[in-house]
Each structure stands twice: as C-alpha cells, then as structure tokens.
Chain A
Amino acid sequence: MARKFLVLGEVRDGSLRNVSFEAIGAAKLAADGGEIVGVLVGDSVQNFGDELIQYGADRVIAVENDQLKQYTSDGYAQSLLAVIEQEKPEGIFFGHTALGKDLAPKLAGKLESGLISDVTSIEEEGGNIVFTRPIYSGKAFEKKIVTAGVIFATIRPNNIEPLAKDESRSGDVSTLSVDIKDLRTIIKDVVRKASEGVDLSEAKVIIAGGRGVKSEDGFEPLKELAQVLGGAVGASRGACDADYCDYSLQIGQTGKVVTPDLYIACGISGAIQHLAGMSNSKVIVAINKDPEANIFNVADYGIVGDLFEVVPLLTEEFKKLKVNA
C-alpha cells in the first residue's frame, strides 16, 4: 500500500546532515512506492531542496521565516504542523539527533500519535511497518509498530543505508508561509565546541580515548591515528570528566550514540553507559592494559597492552598500507 511520508531535512553548520538522507532511505522502505516529501525549516533553507531530491525525495517543501534561524521546539512545531496539515502524510521521519529527540515527541503528543524513537532498522511485514530499536542500554532490541495516528519515527544515524545520490533527479521545491508566533523559549547564546573534522555521530571510523589516555596530550597519538584513517576522535565520560578533552567528544548514553564501521577503544574500561553509545559499531577493537576490562567482552579484536605503545605502532602500520596501496 503506497503511503506518503515526510522527512525533515536537518541543516547543521551550513549543510544537510547525513542522517536526513538515511531518513529518506528509511521512508522509502516504509512508503512502499508512495511519495516522499522532504521538509526544510529555517531562515534560508530552500537551496538545500535539490540535494534532498537527489537523495530520493520526490519534492520538497521549505518553511522559511526569520524566527526560524535557530531551532526552537515552538517554531519548528508550528512549521511542521502546518506542513502536516497541508500534506496529510501517513508518517514523518526525523534523525535521532538532539533536534529530532526534542521535537518529535511534541508533535506526536499534539497529534496523539505513536512515535518510535531511535530506530535502527525498518521492514515491511504483512502491511505493517515494523521498526527495530535498541532497549535496555543496547542489551536488547524490540520490534514495534505504530497503531494509531500519524506514524512518527526518529532514525539513529549510521544504521539505515541512504540511497545513492542521483544528480539527474529533479523535483519541485516549494515554500509554505507559516506565521511563527509566541516562541516561549529564547536562545541567548550558543557555545560551539571545536568539532574539527568529521561529525562524530556520522563518522565511519572512530578512535576513542578513555581515562587511560591520562592527559590532554595523551590524545595526540589517537588524533594521528584518526587522521591516517580519515576518522574522528571520541572519548569516554572518564576522559571528559578528567578534562583530557571536551564533552562534545563524549560517546555513550549521555553523549553521542555512534555506529561506525570501525571503533577503536583506547584505555576505556567499557562501562554500560559507554557501551550504550557504541556497542552497535560494526567492528570494535579494544586496546587496554587490563585483560579483565569489560570492553574486551564486546570487542571483536583486542590487544592487551599499553596504548601509548600500541597506538603509534598502529598508525605506522596503517601508513605503510596507504603507501603500498
């Protein structure tokens, strides 16, 4: 049964986030041939419409307003409710990002609808759209369906394949004018943390350091390895609390949830709150000098040893590969 789906295209730092393309991929699976309508919200976002279409949206609606320059739940909810009202979709998908987590429950609440949060896969079974999501800090999974209202879902980054970008695709990018009023929360200031390079939640390779890294300088060898592999550097809470790095690098239940192809944990013990943020990674390597560390229980490969010896050797070895390739 063909169903129309909306997908919110989330713009961050002047570009669309990868998870928005993945959400389009998810919507394709759910729509069963139905129309996919991309939605953009902001002060000047129309120009991202074509890219959503190249990734599989059939057309795009942009809500533009000066009051939407920064995300607020009120402003975005007013925008999306207007689009939902106009389009009457079967469902709407978001990325499971800070924005998606904040906004989707408000809309689902307003429309008395079901929302499935943090979805890692989607399939169609006997006419139902079945969503899979981790529960119990990633120690179990559940399959769920929405039984009433609009089908809401937030999609965990790096789990559902986006469609290949097709630059020959074209479609209509229209605007919808919405009266944005009564914003009850006002953003006074934003402190951006230096997130150089690759966005952690979307990185394919992550080199993460824990308390075992021992100092800010201790992260240097990890950064070098990340650079050689084109990956990003992440951290445990332990390393952040000890001030070895910024909280924006934190991975886990409180920090970012990541699903890279390769996760190399260096000097991280493997507390459940850390595992909740990375145990879905495709391949996990643990480097820890304690053979009993819990991280070895989730690792595919482990080296028991001093990270300050192992990590530079790894960097050298990968460099050699690069030269030979």
Chain B
Amino acid sequence: MNIYVLLKRTFDTEEKITLSNGKINEDGAEFIINPYDEYAVEEAIQVRDAQGGEVTVISVGTEEAEKQLRTALAMGADKAVLINIEDDIENGDQFTTAKIIGEYLKDKNADLIIAGNVAIDGGSGQVGPRVAEILGIPYITTITKLDIENGNVSVIRDVEGDSETIEASLPLLVTAQQGLNEPRYPSLPGIMKAKKKPLEELELDDLDLEEDDVEAKTKTIEIYLPAKKEAGKVLDGEISAQVTELVQLLRSEAKVI
C-alpha cells in the first residue's frame, strides 16, 4: 500500500505567544510536529505494518521542517519529502499549501493519505479536504478508528461526540482525531536509522508550479493578542462566604445571572 502522511511543523502553543513587528515572534520558540499529525504518522505505520507498503511523509515549509520529518522517520516512516517554499512564496494560505501538496501527489498513485484534522497554530482544518478535492478522491475527517480489508475501508468518525461508522474504498484521504491511537516515541535505533532514510527536498520549480499558480486566496491584515485580561479575583474567607460573594459578583458585577 502506498501511504502518504501530511505533516506540519507547528509552533508549540503551550508556549507563551508574543508579537514582534505585527507577527508571531518565533525566536527561541519550541517547534513540534502538529500533535494531530503524530496520530497520522502512527496510523500510517500501523497500516503499513499490517498491509505492507511504504509510508512517505510530506511537509510544505522551510528547511527547518527537516527536524520534524526526521522525527517521523525515526518513528518508522520510510521516506520524507520536504517541499521548501522559503524562497518562492511570501504569503501563503491553505489554498497555497493544498495546491502544492496536490501537485506533488497527483501522479503518485497514493492509496491512502492521512492528515491531521487541524493544525494547532493555524487552526483551520482546511488542508486535508482541499487536498482530497484537488486529487478528486473522497475524504473522511476526524476519524478515531481505521480498518482496511481488501481495499475496503471502514472508519469511525467523531461528529461532535457522536460516532459514525463510514465505509469507503481506496484511494481515500482521512484526517486524524485524538483517540485514533497512541503515537510511539522514536526509539534510539529508530533515530539512528532515520539519519540514513531518504529525505527529498523539492522547490516549486520541481513541481512545475509558478508563484501565480499558488497565490493565496486570502490575506491576513492584522495579527493581535487578546487584550490582557485583568487578573481574576480569587476570593478568600470562609468557603460559604466565598460562595455568597461569588453569586453576588456574577449578578451585579459580571451580570451573567
């Protein structure tokens, strides 16, 4: 089976976020594999181990994404592709990313493509379905279970807490929801092996794409931090008196009751 994983290098949102020159300050920040893409990598490895085949992890980004791709290789993926757009594109959006990935995948005969359901930084959840649409294949989002037998696929999809059992056939794109699996940690031998696994680096030129072909369909005009919340009031005194005070505050100060 020919399996592809879409992997985004993201800012670790556990970190403090600051702005410099109207942009999110990335200096010294921690970058990670988008957590939902870790589920995607794990699932791809499990499917390969059960069915045979090969797992290729793709990321669109800058040279720095090599680190996250190596981690995926250390987990057990076979190959990685970094589509480096650093020199070509200044402002991209979900259309841009999906178009580039779609162009790369169009002649690869992918059987299964696994993406994350959402990136924790950009947070749109668009790239998976957009890629499927470009490739003309069906997709199922936010899955928590994947079974494949003789090319027939059965998945469980999380729909706001309800579970749908959905059947489809390959080729298919799915997006991973938390609960799909427990991603493994790279082992030491895995990390050693990963250094020798193939990591191909491409640019727009290699995909026969011009900047105009991938021009964003949206534009960010401002990024800002929410107004700093006044420190909350932590009450004190007897618990029963605190409760009485809280109810009064909710009524007269916050006016929500």
Contacts and interface: CB of A to CB of B under 8 A. Distances in A.
A233 to B, nearest CB: 13
A168 interface: no
Contact of B218 (A116, A248, A282): A116
Nearest to B160: A98
A282 B254 CA distance: 9
Contact of B247 (A136, A296, A318): A318
B161 A314 contact: no
Given A139-B13, A310-B243, A184 B168 contact: yes
Contacts of B177: 254
Interface string A238-264: 000000001111100111100001100
A171 interface: no
A260 to B, nearest CB: 9
A255 B130 CA distance: 22
B256 A282 contact: yes
Contacts of B240: 313
A109 B217 CA distance: 10
B243 A314 contact: yes
Nearest to A184: B138
A285 B247 CA distance: 11
Contacts of A261: 256
A296 B17 CA distance: 18
A296 B234 contact: yes
Contacts of B246: 285, 301, 303, 314
A184 B138 CA distance: 6
Q: Which of A102, A141, A146 has the most CB of B within 10 A?
A: A102
A112 B134 CA distance: 10
B88 interface: no
Interface string B215-228: 11111111111100
User: Main SS of chain A's interface residues?
Assistant: mixed
Q: Which of A108, A109, A314 has the most CB of B within 10 A?
A: A109
A145 B161 contact: no
A186 interface: yes
Give the contact-size bracket for chain A.
35 or more
Interface stretch (B42-50, B78-86, B139-147): B139-147
B130 A186 contact: no
B76 interface: no
User: Main SS of chain B's interface residues?
Assistant: mixed
Given A136-B13, A147-B218, A302 B257 contact: no
B33 to A, nearest CB: 15
Interface string A116-156: 11100000000000100111110111111111110000000
Contacts of B129: 73, 102, 105-106, 109
Contact of A187 (B14, B128, B132, B166): B166
Contacts of A162: none
Interface residues of B, number: 76
A33 interface: no
A147 B217 contact: yes
A190 B157 CA distance: 9
A298 interface: yes
A230 B146 CA distance: 38
Contacts of A189: 164-165
B242 interface: yes
Contacts of B254: 262, 282-283, 300-301
B234 A313 contact: no
Contacts of A303: 234-235, 239, 242-243, 246
B1 interface: no
A188 B219 CA distance: 40
A181 interface: no
B28 interface: no
B121 interface: yes
Contact of A101 (B141, B217, B225): B141
A317 interface: yes
A301 B243 contact: no
19 contacts: A105-B130, A114-B217, A114-B218, A115-B94, A136-B120, A139-B226, A143-B223, A185-B138, A189-B165, A191-B162, A191-B165, A246-B161, A261-B256, A282-B254, A282-B256, A296-B232, A303-B234, A314-B243, A321-B251
Given A102-B141, A283-B256, 7 more contacts: A106-B132, A113-B95, A139-B13, A142-B224, A188-B154, A193-B162, A301-B250
Interface of A: 73-74, 97-98, 101-102, 104-106, 108-110, 112-118, 130, 133-137, 139-149, 184-193, 195, 201, 205, 229, 237, 246-250, 253-256, 261-262, 272, 276, 282-286, 291, 296-305, 309-310, 313-314, 317-318, 321
